[in-house]
Each structure stands twice: as structure tokens, then as C-alpha cells.
Amino acid sequence: HKQVHFDAMAVMNGAGVSIPGHEAEGYPIARKSVIEILERLCELPDIILSLECGNEVYANVEIPIWNAIVFHEFPKLPTAGPIYKILVSRENENIGSLVETLLTEDTYCTVANGNLVQIMNKKATKWNGIQMMLRSCNVSPEQAVYFGDDNDDIEPLKQCGTGVAVGNAIDEVKEAADVVVESNDEDGVAKWIERNLLE
């Protein structure tokens, strides 16, 4: 197999795309929409709320794993910079369908890890980010292999030539994939690459 030097990244569900030699691109949420959504979310009781703003995460509670900056003044905005994602959850409850009713026309939401609602610009999808990366190195989707485990991986799994779900993926991802391999803990991705690309 011919190797392609490739160290591009699609982060924040495709809201940010970094391709070496290109200016960073992305799809932040319009500030007006962020404010409208935050005003609606702040009326909900007991929510955990955070904003992904590139290198910074602001949250209304401490979230050590994200190194979040605690900010108690929502719906005010904590930064003048772009806001790529609004994350909202309530402990032990999936409030995705409720949050969906509070969105603006230019945003959408997905649910990750069972109850973490992620709100983004409608253009910010993993598939859009993947397409940008593939174009940058002249690789067609049919030539690409995509690995996934959660809701936002379903579209690229279906669109790429080979869609591979790991064993710990949600059921919908396994159904969308061409192949299901061992879980992340069992190095399923590495084993698939070794078996199919490195022989």
C-alpha cells in the first residue's frame, strides 16, 4: 500500500479542522445563537453546562478531566472568541429531546456517552471535517477507512469505503459499519490495521 503522510485532525465533532499547510478551519456557532440557547438552557434546573472555545472550556461546575474554567455568569459569554460547542447534561438523565426543542435554526445536537448533549453549528459534523481532510490529500471517500464508536460516527462510517466499529461501540454504530472488531481496550483498531493494511 502507498503511504500518505497525514497528520490532519477533525476535532470537536468536526467543528474544528486542522490540516498542516492550511489555515485552521471550522464551524463555530453564531454568537447570537449561543446567547439565545444559553438563555433557554439556564432556565432548566440542575443542569451542567459548558462551552468549548478552541483551547479553553468554560463550565458552571468544576470538570477536572476537561481542565474547565469555572464560570458562574451564564448566559453571559465568557470569551470574545469563537464558541464551537455547547455541552449540557443533567445527572443520570438523557435530556437530548428536551434540549432539541431549545435550539436555533442554525444549530443541531447529538447525545454522547448516554447523556451528554452536544450543541453545534449545523455545518459542524464529523463527516464535513473528514471530507475536508480527504480532499487535502486527494483521497476519495471510497478509498478511506473510518473507525467509530458513537452517534456522530454513523455518517462517516456509511460514507467511507470501509466503516469499522469497535466492539464497545453503541448498537447503531455497529449496524452502520461494514465490520465490527475488538473493543478499544482490546486494541481493535490496531489489530484491524495490522491484519488489513500492514501485511
Q: Are 77 and 34 in contact (CB under 8 A)?
A: yes
Q: How confident is the model at residue 14 (pLDDT cuts 50, 70, 90)?
A: low
Could you give the CA distance from residue 105 to residue 108 in angstroms, rounded to a whole number?
Answer: 8
pTM for the full model? Answer: 0.70
Q: Could you read off the pLDDT of 18-77 as tens digits, one per residue?
A: 666 665 567 899 999 999 999 999 999 999 999 998 789 999 999 999 899 999 999 999
Cell numbers representing residue 4 in the block: 500518505
> Bigger pLDDT: 196 or 16?
196
The pLDDT of residue 17 is 67
Q: Are 90 and 102 in contact (CB under 8 A)?
A: no
Q: Could you read off the pLDDT of 142-157 as tens digits, one per residue?
A: 999 999 998 889 999 9
How many Å separate Cα 111 from the centre of its chain? 10
Q: Are 120 and 29 in contact (CB under 8 A)?
A: yes
